[in-house]
Amino acid sequence: MAADTNKARLKLIIILAIPAVIENFFQTILGFVDTYFVSQISLAAVSAVGVTNALLAIYFALFMAIGIAANVRIANFMGAGFPEKARHISQQSIVLSIAFGLLTGIITLFFAEPLLRLMGIEEEVLELGALYFRIVGIPSVFMSLMFVMSAILRGAGNTRSPMIVSVVINIVNGILDYLLIFGFLFIPEMGIIGAAIATVFSRMVGSLFLVYYINREKVLNFRRDYWKPDLTHLKELSTLGAPAAGERLLMRAGQIVYFGFVVALGTNSFAAHQIAGNVEVFSYMIGYGFATAATILVGQQVGAGSYEEAKTYAKLSTYFAFISMTVLGILLFFLGEWTGSFFTEDQAVIGDIGTALKISGVFQPLLAILLVMTGAFQGANNTKFPMYLTAVGMWAVRTVLVYVLAIMLDWGLAGVWIAIGIDIGLRAIVLLIQFRRDKWMEIEKAPEPRAECDPQTTKEDLPACANSY
């Protein structure tokens, strides 16, 4: 009987994870295709896109935090049988995403060059980077909407629609990349400007598709009176999302610092680092897919008060990801250098790419644990501990070790990737220990039941309002 139950659980995990894996795959393809086409322009262009994406990752941190908060709260309320609250908070998260998207667009407009100069890049890379950054960053509201609306659908257990959108925008982006970067018939050759325009247009298309899919969901379709900003729910989303944002921001800020150390190794080394990162991120698609399943299922079970069931789903998701990413790690180890040859003919750069990916391959099983455990913690409303752990890992381990190994000991790019691997490994082990000690959930005592609830009910009322609709 237990075997049959686990089989049913695994089936549910796979049903949720596979579309998320495919979505992540196509999101990865987006970066891969961009890097491939841009690499045909010059290595300076690759570096320009790389440093810009490092800064845009800070924006992503804010948008992802809103998405994580929406995902978790929607999963909680759906699990508790409280759909109207899920609908209301989903629309409030869209309101919040628009506000942050407009804010980051204004920041990009006025501070593109100063922000890029913080990376310590050469003038040639700065000029290209500023151009790319402004085109992609000013309309960042579309990035924000895509992150949050995809998270809303996933929180409701719909991982298929974000997958479809991801496929569509990658097809659009790939076609436009080719046409706008290199020119075709009456379309002039635009180079890096064309890459930026293709990215922005594909995100606009993706946002429109996500609006369509959300509005088609009976549980989530929009209600006109839910668009008015509600301070209670905006505060609730911010409170849950702030630690997630803090985690991402701490990681990205640390990344900017150690990116500066990589830049100090030279433009070719940074280009190799960027290319290796775009190849390695394929391995993340499995981890993030199962992390998505863990967040949804743990969130639903926590909302329903089934805490042991939540723990079981977290374990099974981690086992699946561990096995899958071990296989991917083996592929990275043996095929990394061969993959690098698709991006450049420079043998020194290809060698650096191969070295970086060999090191990455060794740490893939631990990365699986880190990603899925983080998703499980977040599904259990515990976004604070991952934030604290990231702060320590990024600043006391990764950044320090990158400087020591890559700069002081002159290990070059190998030192950078060893430092990253050690950080991943330590954080994975700590999360696993907390999980095994049952110190991974944040559960509040439920209030006394009341007769009925309205959509403005706060999270403390969730258990009491579970059956009020």
- The pLDDT of residue 32: 65
Tens digit of pLDDT for each residue in 321-353?
A: 999 999 999 999 998 788 878 877 788 888 888
DSSP secondary structure string, 158-195? --HHHHHHHHHHHHHHHHHHHHHHH-BTTBPP-THHHH
| Phi and psi angles of residue 184, each rounded to the nearest 5 degrees, phi first | -160, 125
- The pLDDT of residue 450: 35
What are the CA-CA distances from residue 326 to residues 221, 362, 421 (Å)? 40, 8, 14
Helices 413-436, 347-379: inter-axial angle, 10-degree rounding: 20
Tens digit of pLDDT for each residue in 394-441?
A: 888 999 999 999 889 989 889 999 999 999 999 999 999 999 999 898
Q: Which residues contact 415 (CB under 8 A, 6 or more apart)?
A: 401, 402, 404, 405, 406, 407, 409
Tens digit of pLDDT for each residue in 105-162?
A: 999 999 888 888 877 667 777 887 888 889 988 999 998 999 899 989 988 888 889 8
No. of helices (H) and no. of strands (E), the chain: 14, 0
**Position 116 in a domain:** yes
Residue 220: band (very low, low, confident or very high) from pLDDT cuts 50, 70, 90:
confident
- The pLDDT of residue 3: 57
pLDDT mean over 279-290 = 82
Tens digit of pLDDT for each residue in 450-467?
A: 334 444 444 444 444 433
Q: Over the chain, what is the mean pLDDT?
A: 83
**Position 451 in a domain:** no
pLDDT mean over 277-285 = 78
pLDDT mean over 189-202 = 86
Tell me if 389 sits within 8 A of 309, measured CB to CB: no
Give the integer Cα–Cα distance in Å for 426 and 432. Answer: 10
Tell me if 400 sits within 8 A of 418, measured CB to CB: no
User: Closest Cα partner for 317 from 24, 17, 2?
Assistant: 17
Domain that holds residue 308: 14-441
CB neighbours of residue 3 within 10 Å: 7
| Phi and psi angles of residue 346, each rounded to the nearest 5 degrees, phi first | -70, 110
- The pLDDT of residue 426: 96
Tens digit of pLDDT for each residue in 363-384?
A: 999 999 999 999 999 889 888 8
**Position 141 in a domain:** yes
- Higher model confidence: residue 26 or residue 325? 325
pLDDT mean over 43-49 = 77
- The pLDDT of residue 462: 44
**Position 396 in a domain:** yes
Residues forming beta bridges with residue 184, ordered by sequence position: 187
- The pLDDT of residue 1: 46
pLDDT mean over 93-110 = 92
- The number of folded domains in the chain is 1
Residue 448: band (very low, low, confident or very high) from pLDDT cuts 50, 70, 90:
very low
Tens digit of pLDDT for each residue in 256-268?
A: 777 778 878 887 8
The separation between CA 171 and the C-alpha centre of its own chain, rounded to angstroms, equals 20
The alpha-helical segments, DSSP class H, found in 306-412 are 307-340, 347-379, 384-392, 399-401
When mean pLDDT is compared across 155-164, 217-226, 282-291, 366-375, the lowest value belongs to: 217-226
**Position 5 in a domain:** no
Predicted confidence (pLDDT) at residue 18 exceeds the cutoff of 50 = yes
**Position 3 in a domain:** no
Tell me if 136 sits within 8 A of 109, measured CB to CB: no
- The pLDDT of residue 2: 56
**Position 452 in a domain:** no
Give the integer Cα–Cα distance in Å for 282 and 343. Answer: 16
The 8-class DSSP code of residue 228 comes to: S
Residue 278's H or E segment, with its range, is: helix 267-304
Tell me if 272 sits within 8 A of 353, measured CB to CB: yes
